[in-house]
Amino acid sequence: MSEFEDNYNTLDKTLHRLAFNTVKIQKWLAEFESDLYRTQLRSIEVERPVFISGLPRCGTTALLNVLCRAEEFCFHTYQDMPFLFTPIIWSQLSQRFKKKLPWTERAHRDGLKINQSSPEAFEEMLWQAFWPTKYSSSISVWSTNRSEQFDSFFVQHIKK
């Protein structure tokens, strides 16, 4: 197994801290983005979303990597971070700062190689924003906790 390489510079780390500590602002920006692109998003249908879940080290990343090769699926990539809530705006803003990064072992230290275009399951950030009390030192089984606000947000997010 190769060694994990930390490629984050000071600016990258600052942006991540800013994004992760401003969840309310990120949610507001997500609404702003949805309003800004309302016409384009209205024409997109979310028909049959597929969610991959499983215990750690059970092969979910391998399955994600297979599915991401099909045009029918959309997914987050490492370049979506840290402003995951606003994928359209962040993609446009970050274009000028993109650099081709080499394949490197991911932080999990599991031997899987990634680059900025690699798919990853970052949806947990979204869930944490809507159910912050559910995340602590351990995550217990949830009872049904439907949220119309989250459902609406998530459908818009999938469209983006």
The residues spanned by each domain of the chain are 22-132+145-159
Contact at 8 Å (CB) between 35 and 141? no
Q: Cis omega (within 30 of 0) on the bond before 82?
A: yes
Query: Cα separation of 104 and 112, whole Å?
Result: 8
CB atoms under 10 Å from CB of 24, counted, come to 8
Residue-wise pLDDT tens digits, 123-135 = 888 988 998 888 7
Query: Cα separation of 147 and 36, whole Å?
Result: 24
Torsional class of 93: left (φ above 0), alpha (ψ -120 to 50), beta (otherwise): alpha
Residue 101 has pLDDT above 50, yes or no: yes
Provide mean pLDDT across the span 29-37: 96
Q: Which tokens is 4 given?
A: 């994990």
Q: Please give the model's pTM, rounded to 2 decimal places.
A: 0.81
Residue 28 has pLDDT above 90, yes or no: yes
Reported confidence tier of residue 1, pLDDT bands at 50, 70, 90: very low
Measured at the CA of 70, the angle between CA 65 and CA 76, to 5 degrees, comes to 55
